[in-house]
Amino acid sequence: MFKIKNLRKLTLLLASMMTMMAGAVVAPSLPQINNIFSLTPHADILTRLIITLPALFIAFFSPIFGKLSDTIGRKKILLIALVIYSISGTSGYISNSLLLLLIGRAFLGISVAGIMTMVIALVGDYYKGSERSKFLGLQGAFMGIGGVVFISFAGWLADFGWQTPFLIYLFGFIVLPLALLYLYDEPKLPETVIINKEKKVDETAYSKTLVNIIFLIIFFGIVIFYMIPVQIPYLLKELPGISNTHIGLAIAAQSLAGSIVAMNYRRIKSKLTFCSIYQITFALMATGYIFISLSNSYALIIVGLIISGFGVGLLMPTGNMWIIEVAPDNMRGQLVGKANTAIFIAMFLSPIIVQPLIKWGSISSSFFIMGIAQIAFIGFLFYLKSYQKNNIQPAYCTNKN
C-alpha cells in the first residue's frame, strides 16, 4: 500500500509537469519558427500564438471538464486527455504550415484543460491539511524541475531543427499507463450528486466574492509570469552570440529557482497568510523584472530571471491551495476548472496585453512597466487584508489557516 501511494503521488506530479511545459517547451524555437514562416501574413503575432493559443482552449474547456468530473469522475477524463496530449503535441513535428501548427496547439490546449483540472481536483480529493500544502509545494517543485529539464532539452533540440522539440510531448504516453494503474481508487462522488443529479449543490458554502478575488489575483500573476516564455526568447536574440540552447537555459534558470522555493512551500504556508505570500511573490517578481529591463548582458538577465523565479515558485501553489481550501467538496472540480480558466485566459492575453508596451518602447521597457505594475498590485493586497477582515469570513488573508 505504501508503494502504491507513492506511485500515485508520482503519477500526479508527472502529470503536473506536463501541463506547464505545454507552451514553454517550444519557446526556444519561436524566433526560428518566425524566420521560417516570415512570409506568412502577421507571422510575428501568429508565432507567439504557438505558445499562447493552447491557453485559450484550456480556458474554455477547463470549467466544462471540471463540471463533468464532479459527476462522471476524474480518471476517465484524465486518461483520454493524456492520449490527446501526446498526439496533438507531437503533431507539430510533421506540420509544414502555421495553420497546421496552430490547429495542433488548439487540441493540445483541450487536452491540458482535462489534465490540469483533473490533477488539481484529485489533489484536493486525496490530500488534506498540511499534507495537501506539502503536496502542492512538491507539485510546484516538480513543475519547476520539469521546466529545467524539458526547456533546456528543448533548447538543445531546437538547434537541430525547429520541429524537433515537439517530440517531447510523447512524454504523455509515459504517464498514461501510470494513471491507468495507480489512480484506480479515486474518491467516491458525493451521494447527493450520484443519487439525485438534479438536486442543486450548496453554492452558499463558500464566499463568491473571495473566489472572484482569488481569480483576479491568479489572472494578474499569470499575465506577468508568461512574459518569460513569450518575450524572453526575443529579448535574448537581440544580444550577440545567443543560440536556442542559451534561450532554453535562461528560461530553465527561472524554473530551477522556482522549484527550490516551491519545495519549501509547506513551511512558508504554515507561517504566512495567502495574501502575505502573494505580496512576497509579486515583490520578488517585480524586482527580477526591473532587473531584466535594466540589464544589457546574458549573465545579468539570468540573474533577473532567477530573482523572479523565486516569486514564481510561490505563484502556482498559492493559487491552487487557496481555491482548494475555499471550495466545497461537491464543487471542487467546478471551481478548479474556473481557476484554470483564469490562468489560461491570462496566458493567452499576456502577449496581447504586452505587445502595445513593446511597440511604445521595447521589450526591455515592457518588463520595467510590468515590474512597476506588480508593486502597485502589492498595495491592492494590503487593501484586501483590511477589506476581508471586515467583510469575508473565514478571513484567509488575516489568518494562516
CA 372 to chain centre: 22
The reply to whether omega before 41 is within 30° of 0 (cis) is no
Say if 286 falls within a structural domain. Answer: yes
* Statement: residue 273 has pLDDT above 50: yes
Q: What is the pLDDT of residue 2?
A: 53
Say if 71 falls within a structural domain. Answer: yes
Q: 106-115, 123-132, 311-320, 350-359: lowest mean pLDDT where?
A: 123-132
CA–CA gap between residue 203 and residue 327 (Å, rounded): 10
For residue 44, give its domain range: 2-391
Of residues 19 and 250, more confidence is placed in 250
Of residues 265 and 400, more confidence is placed in 265
Say if 189 falls within a structural domain. Answer: yes
- Exposure of 317 by Cβ count < 10 A (0-12 exposed, 13-18 middle, 19+ buried)? buried
* Statement: residue 201 has pLDDT above 50: no
* Statement: residue 291 has pLDDT above 90: yes
CA–CA gap between residue 191 and residue 309 (Å, rounded): 43
Question: Using an 8 Å Cβ cutoff, are 305 and 248 in contact?
Answer: no
Say if 401 falls within a structural domain. Answer: no
Average pLDDT in the 296-309 region? 93
Q: 160-169, 186-195, 255-264: lowest mean pLDDT where?
A: 186-195
Q: 29-33, 54-58, 233-237, 271-275: lowest mean pLDDT where?
A: 29-33
DSSP string, 64-131: HHHHHHHHH-HHHHHHHHHHHHHHHHHGGGT--SHHHHHHHHHHHHHHHHHHHHHHHHHHHHH--HHH
* Statement: residue 328 has pLDDT above 80: no
* Statement: residue 368 has pLDDT above 90: yes
Q: What is the pLDDT of residue 198?
A: 44
What average pLDDT does the structure give for the chain? 82
Q: What letter does residue 204 receive in the DSSP assignment?
A: T
Say if 310 falls within a structural domain. Answer: yes
* Statement: residue 187 has pLDDT above 70: no
What end-to-end distance do the CA atoms of the chain give, in Å? 30
Question: Using an 8 Å Cβ cutoff, are 113 and 65 in contact?
Answer: yes
Could you give the angle at which helices 227-237 and 332-360 cross, rounded to 10 degrees? Answer: 30
Say if 59 falls within a structural domain. Answer: yes
Average pLDDT in the 54-81 region? 85
Average pLDDT in the 212-237 region? 89
Task: Kindly list the distances between the CA atom of residue 59 and the CA atoms of 17, 56, 63, 302, in Å, as whole numbers in the listed order.
Answer: 18, 5, 8, 31
Question: Using an 8 Å Cβ cutoff, are 256 and 144 in contact?
Answer: yes
Q: 91-105, 150-164, 212-226, 340-354: lowest mean pLDDT where?
A: 150-164
Average pLDDT in the 363-381 region? 93
Q: What is the pLDDT of residue 387?
A: 65
* Statement: residue 122 has pLDDT above 90: no
Average pLDDT in the 226-230 region? 86
What percentage of the chain has pLDDT greater than the value 70?
Answer: 87
Name the band, by pLDDT with cuts 50, 70 and 90, for residue 337.
confident
Closest among 108, 86, 67 to 177, alpha carbons compared = 86
Nine-digit cell string for 380: 491592492
* Statement: residue 195 has pLDDT above 60: no
CA–CA gap between residue 238 and residue 242 (Å, rounded): 8
Name the band, by pLDDT with cuts 50, 70 and 90, for residue 82.
very high
Say if 400 falls within a structural domain. Answer: no
pLDDT tens-place string over residues 146-184: 767 777 787 788 888 888 888 889 989 999 999 998 886
Of residues 395 and 5, more confidence is placed in 5
* Statement: residue 205 has pLDDT above 70: no
Name the band, by pLDDT with cuts 50, 70 and 90, for residue 199.
very low
Name the band, by pLDDT with cuts 50, 70 and 90, for residue 401.
low
Which residues, 6 or more positions from 17, have their beta carbon under 8 angstroms from its beta carbon?
Answer: 142, 143, 145, 146, 150
What is the number of structural domains in the chain? 1
Q: What is the pLDDT of residue 41?
A: 75
* Statement: residue 327 has pLDDT above 80: no
Read off the CATH number of the domain in which 158 is found. 1.20.1250.20
Name the band, by pLDDT with cuts 50, 70 and 90, for residue 389.
low
* Statement: residue 197 has pLDDT above 70: no
Say if 399 falls within a structural domain. Answer: no
- Exposure of 191 by Cβ count < 10 A (0-12 exposed, 13-18 middle, 19+ buried)? exposed
Regarding pTM above 0.75, the answer is no
Question: Using an 8 Å Cβ cutoff, are 122 and 186 in contact?
Answer: yes
Task: Kindly list the distances between the CA atom of residue 241 and the CA atoms of 40, 157, 169, 247, 249, in Å, as whole numbers in the listed order.
Answer: 27, 18, 29, 11, 14
**Torsional sign, CA 346, 273, 255, 4:** negative
